[in-house]
Amino acid sequence: MRHDVIIVGGGFAGLAAATYLARARRNVRVIDTGKPRNRFADASHGFLGHDGSDPRHILATARKQLLAYPTAELTEAEASTARIHEDGFAVALASGEEMVARKLILAFGLRDELPAIPGLQERWGKTVLHCPYCHGIEFSDQRLGVLYRTPMSVHQASLIAEWGPTTLYLNGAELAQEDAATLAARDVKVEPAPVTGLIGDGLGLSALALGDGRHSAIAALYIAPRSCFTSPLADDLGAEIEQGPLGPVIRTDADKMTAIPGLYAAGDIARMPHSVSWAVADGVTAGTSAHRALVFG
């Protein structure tokens, strides 16, 4: 099967890229396993015109609108391997089916690795959060917590204090003296005891259990998740990958093209920081860049 463009990942970046290519009347195939990074949250915030919408609903609408174009196709499957091919790129599914395209856009997103504290995993996207712009105003003026994971957690706690009274839980980590001063200047409290569990009804949060038996009342806990690629395809194709403070990032130029001609990367895997709006913008950049390369390349 031959296409103008194959897109691996049909989340926010992948569907945005595909929509622009389909509108350019190009033959585009999206391959998608249907597990966007924010699927744990019931509401996505900050994306213009969709503030508070269910992310699954935004993506389902985008998929439906894409598939109304006659040159767009979507395969619900995992792209398991990819290689450079004489006509561009060959992508194989787990079933063994192979597809070839002149250009390839990687938009397979990230997976978050969360700390193994009882009660934390199941609250991810509900009362355990990473971004106050995405999920912050909902907890305005309530007690907020930040779990120390990296030196960036000091900055995160200083920022989150903007939304409510904040405590940084060191969970056994050491705090540098200058960081203590930064936190004090923002009225952020520091709790050194280890965190042993999260307490609350259902997926709500009312307190953190501490190693010395105390309970510390909070309504939301922010963490800096470490993330990893959901797929090895970027490594397999030899794309340049940098190690950012929170995980890997595929290096691209301003057109979202990697160092490998014809190979593009968009969304969370190819940028910092991360949001739906930025992923969509990157998808549009990658889609239109790939289109121009098909026309003029």
Q: Which residues would be at the binding site for ligand FAD (CB under 6 A)?
A: 8-14, 31-38, 40-41, 44-47, 78-79, 107-109, 112, 124-125, 134-135, 230-231, 267-268, 274-277, 279
Q: Helix or strand or coil: residue 244?
A: strand
Burial pattern 57-85, b for ≥16 Cβ within 10 A else e, equals ebbeebbeebeebebbbbbeebbbbbeee
Q: Which is nearer to ligand FAD, 27 or 38 (CB)?
A: 38
Placement of tokens 């009804």 in the chain: 201
Residues 200-216 as b/e (b if ≥16 CB within 10 A, e otherwise) read: beeeebebbbbeeeeeb
| Centroid of chain to Cα 284 | 17
Q: How far is the CB of 35 from ligand FAD (least distance, A)?
A: 4
Distance CA 236, CA 76 (A): 21
- Phi–psi pair at 176, nearest 5 degrees: -70, 155
Q: Which is nearer to ligand FAD, 218 or 280 (CB)?
A: 280
Structural tokens at position 216: 């510390």
> How many other CB atoms sit within 10 Å of the CB of residue 177?
7
Q: Please, what is the minimum distance in Å from the beta carbon of residue 102 to ligand FAD?
A: 19
Q: How far is the CB of 244 from ligand FAD (least distance, A)?
A: 14
Which residue has tokens 């403070």?
245
Q: Which is nearer to ligand FAD, 98 or 112 (CB)?
A: 112
User: CB of residue 170 vs ligand FAD: minimum separation in angstroms?
Assistant: 23
As a 3-state breakdown, the chain gives helix, strand, coil percent values, each rounded to 5, of: 30, 30, 40
Question: In the bound complex, which residue of the shown chain has the CB atom lying closest to ligand FAD?
Answer: 11
Instruction: Compare residues 181 and 254 and give the one whose CB is closer to ligand FAD.
Output: 254
CB of 75 to ligand FAD, least distance (A): 8
Nearer to ligand FAD by C-beta: 88 or 125? 125
The pair phi, psi for residue 171, each rounded to 5°, is: 55, 40
Q: What is the 3-state secondary structure (H, E, C) of 42-93?
A: CCECCCCCCCCECHHHHHHHHHHHHHCCCCEEEEECCEEEEEEECCEEEEEE
Q: CB-wise, 9 or 262, nearer to ligand FAD? A: 9
Please, which residue, 125 or 247, has the CB nearer to ligand FAD? 125
Q: How far is CA 47 from the centre of its chain?
A: 14
What does the alpha-carbon distance between residue 31 and residue 79 come to, in Å, rounded to a whole number?
A: 7
DSSP state letter for 142:
S
What is the nearest approach in angstroms of ligand FAD to the Cβ of residue 77?
Answer: 7
Minimum CB separation from ligand FAD for residue 178, in Å?
A: 30
Pairing of strands 2-8, 28-32: parallel
Residue 18 or 154: the one with the smaller Cβ distance to ligand FAD is 18
Distance of closest approach, residue 86 Cβ to ligand FAD, in angstroms = 23
